[in-house]
Structure 1
Amino acid sequence: MSVLVTGGAGYIGSHMVWELLDHGEDVVVLDNLTTGFDWAVPDRAKLVVGNVGNIDLVDKVIRDHDVEAVIHFAGSVVVPESMENPLKYYDNNTANSRNLLEAVVKNGIDKFIFSSTAAVYGEPLTTGPIREDAMLNPMSPYGSSKLMTEIMVRDTALVSNLRYVMLRYFNVAGCDPMQRTGQATKGATHLIKIACETALGRHPSMSIYGDDYDTPDGTCIRDFIHVSDLVNAHYAALNFLRQGGLKFTANCGYSKGYSVKQVVDAVKRISGNDFPVVYEDRRPGDIPSLTANAHRLMSRLSWKPAHDDLDKIISDALAWENALDSRRKSA
């Protein structure tokens, strides 16, 4: 039997594929390649190009590849874009997930892992790392579209044999330490990727949006998790379901945060390039400070991060960007 990874040609999805393959799993990927790349899918995995919202196609993939579990990454993830084009996010993140769930239930699949986000919380009402039982009050269509899918998963499980894990990501960063895959999407908005690209001379400068937040240095604070730790948490979640677990929702982070300025300064130090930074106005939908209380993930799934170090995250990201730059130059 195999594991279906939707969005498996993208940044996080392709890391998940490698994590599964490293554990000897059979993997099939469904991706429309809008933001993903066929080269990011290893030869040992099977790639099907198509839309996760196409019920007939998903039904065929499940039957043809004897799928036993689904890990759902496919979706749009840019908060500012969601503010400008909310219907795109409700279509791609919510409506498509609804169709995927229909195909999953129709085929009797009982193991479903959903890639959610800390954006479902909105701005915390209390200080310190946020817990899973905090108020859910998203401040962007991106967060709302993900929360709607969480509700659909929960409600579907009540009337079917579906068992699920929903993992709320904080800020995913870094790349596979073995450089097998990484963030390659053009125009990606991830802070560490943009800073690394600027350090390597791909941009003349980079912007920091807002320096007047109520934080120690005025810039937003975020919990950055290494992508390899994130996908390892998904594998722990898959084993939880295989062992009979019923349902589980957890934060994925390190329970500590770094400011945007701290991250940019670290990239400058590690790269050796003191590149220009432009301070601009705040962006709609940005939250001043958001860090994870990750105790539930660590205790319930016996999960321990292996790359909990900002310098490690940045070093891996810089190494990947160097390799990607060389690949583009030789193409």
Structure 2
Amino acid sequence: MDLLTIKNLKIHYQLKNGVFKAVDGVDLEVKKGQTIGLVGESGCGKSTLVKGIMQVMSKNAFFADGDIEYNGESMLAMSESKRRGILWKEISMIPQASMDSMNPVYPVVDAFVEIMTLKGGKSKKEAILRAEELFELVGIDKSRIKDYPHQFSGGMKQRVAIALALCLDPKIIIADEPVTALDVIVQHQVLTMLNRLKNELDLTIILITHDISVVAQTCDDLAVMYAGKIAEKGSVLEVLRDPKHPYSMGLSNAFPDLLKNEKLISIEGSVPDLAHNIEGCRFVSRCPFAIDQCHTLEPVVTEYENNRSAACHRAPEYRDLQQLAEEASVWNKVTTT
């Protein structure tokens, strides 16, 4: 049974002149004990999706359709008190730019005490002892709990943020771009630590990133998101080695193997404006393989072997498309035609 299930979820923003459809029909299954990656460029709706799960959306955001189920029960239908008992206690989040989320005028232990006393029902003494345990768990000396945020390096701040997310012993951790602002060495250290914590604490992790190399190092399964929808899903190895959707192919080409002296092949253009109705495939203006029906008919998600799925009219031809996708000239034609 899936621990967390997202069904046809639509999260829209009410604007002065219309509605911005940031998440527009997402289906996603998260199994207990797995690390699932959600990848896509900025503007694809990744952060809106996870904020919807945690229900920390902005005031002009609303659920237009769909559902979020935790252990088979609708989180959108349950009472506010019951939902509060799940969020942050059983599902916690490492927010984007978490290194800058701590109050600079208070020692970091205050954040731990606040969460554990207000949400976890612990005494201040118990909270401090737990903070010391968590610091040592993420590789920081417990004597540093009374330090201020500016006294930590970027990598150590990220470790503190991870420790904070573990305060109430959650089952699921949502990590929103957890290593974006870190150098590659510190990135590796943080990701290795997340893998260790997953195994030691039996965690389930949802990792949001735009960096395929991060997903390849950390995740079991992968969902590629584009313009508010899931373009492709499957195991990390299968999606990265054998992508069926042109967007997945383009993302893979954008992270070349430097040891093979490969050239970076970028995807020209940008995500379409989701404040307007879009006919056909959302990737059509950037896709070098678009055919007539791509402009008029939205592709449906098609299931394949090994729990693979993709939403592309030409997915059955993916082998031929993969060979073409490796040529920079194919992608350049999109902007010259």
TM-score by length of 1: 0.29
More strand by share: 2
Select the structure of larger CA radius of gyration. 2
